[in-house]
Amino acid sequence: MISEEQQDQAALYALGLLDSDEDAAFESELRANAELRDLVRELREAAGDLALTAPSLLPPASLKERVMGEIAMETTRVVPMATRRAPFSWVPWAIAAALAVFCGLLALDRVRLQRQLADIRAADPLMQTTFYTLAPSAPAPADAKATVAWQPGRQSGVIRISNLPAPQSGKDYQLWAVDAEHKDPISAGVVRVDKSGVAQVRFKPVEKAEHVKAFAISLEREGGVPKKKGPILLVGTA
């Protein structure tokens, strides 16, 4: 049972309004109280949703370039050199110039390879297939898994599931395609596992899914539902 005072503190904590002493005291209380932790999470989600009430704006496209540039630099950042000018200080510049030429050649080669890859993809059905690895989320068993081989051109795919126990009576597993251009996940049918928790079935979503971001499996009532309602058990991107 959470007291009203604890609820007050939880709301202030979720909004970041406690001072540092109150904050530390409340966090130690949180560590010992699972129910209070759940409440804080709920209140945090409510606070997070408040951001959506701000008038909707987009940052300029240049900001993304700036941010992506920063992380690329951070990824390749090297230990800074000593500030004292070395006798052969031109050497790094010469290496940089050589690297620049080399990168130019690589870029040309990349364009050529991309063209070749596009040709191969057009000719080979396997190359037109995208693979999605689905990982479990509670309440699915930790070793449950699934792989989807999806062919957008044919709008069909194959799913293989393993280590997923059969659902209780009156329930079925249902496969969903999460498509960037559809508000709700698109049903790709009911999937039934055998006694050993394995299934391998071909599927076709009920609507056209041209930009599939992910596939997911949920637990639904027997026979499936037109719109996802039940908990997600497995989900994964390409």
Size of the site for another protein (CB under 8 A): 58
Q: Are 232 and 216 in contact (CB under 8 A)?
A: yes
Does residue 116 belong to the site contacting another protein (CB under 8 A)?
no
Does residue 237 belong to the site contacting another protein (CB under 8 A)?
yes
Does residue 96 belong to the site contacting another protein (CB under 8 A)?
no
User: Closest approach of Cβ 170 to another protein, in Å?
Assistant: 19
Does residue 158 belong to the site contacting another protein (CB under 8 A)?
no
Look up residue 151 and give its two tokens: 């062919």
Q: How does strand 171-179 pair with strand 212-221?
A: antiparallel
Instruction: Look at residues 126, 186, 115 and name the one whose alpha carbon lies nearest to residue 158.
Output: 126
Region from 52-60, 141-149, 162-170, 196-204 binding another protein, contact rule CB under 8 A: 52-60
Cα dihedral 215, 218, 222, 225, rounded to 10, equals -70
Q: Could you say which residues in the range 191-220 bind another protein, by CB under 8 A?
A: 213-214, 216
Does residue 27 belong to the site contacting another protein (CB under 8 A)?
no
Q: Give the H or E element holding residue 202.
A: strand 199-203
Does residue 151 belong to the site contacting another protein (CB under 8 A)?
no
User: Closest approach of Cβ 10 to another protein, in Å?
Assistant: 8
Nearer to another protein among residue 57 and residue 79 (C-beta): 57
Planar angle of CA 147, 236, 146, nearest 5 degrees: 25
Radius of gyration of the chain (CA): 26
Amino acid at 126: L
Which residues is 161 bridged to in the sheet? 146, 199
Nearer to another protein among residue 14 and residue 199 (C-beta): 14
Distance CA 41, CA 197 (A): 34
Does residue 50 belong to the site contacting another protein (CB under 8 A)?
yes
Residue with tokens 């930790």: 142
Nearer to another protein among residue 43 and residue 158 (C-beta): 43
Does residue 60 belong to the site contacting another protein (CB under 8 A)?
yes
Given the rule CB under 8 A, which residues bind another protein? Answer: 4, 7-8, 10-12, 14-17, 37-38, 41-60, 63-64, 66-68, 70-72, 74-75, 135, 137-138, 176, 178, 183, 185, 213-214, 216, 228, 231-232, 235-237
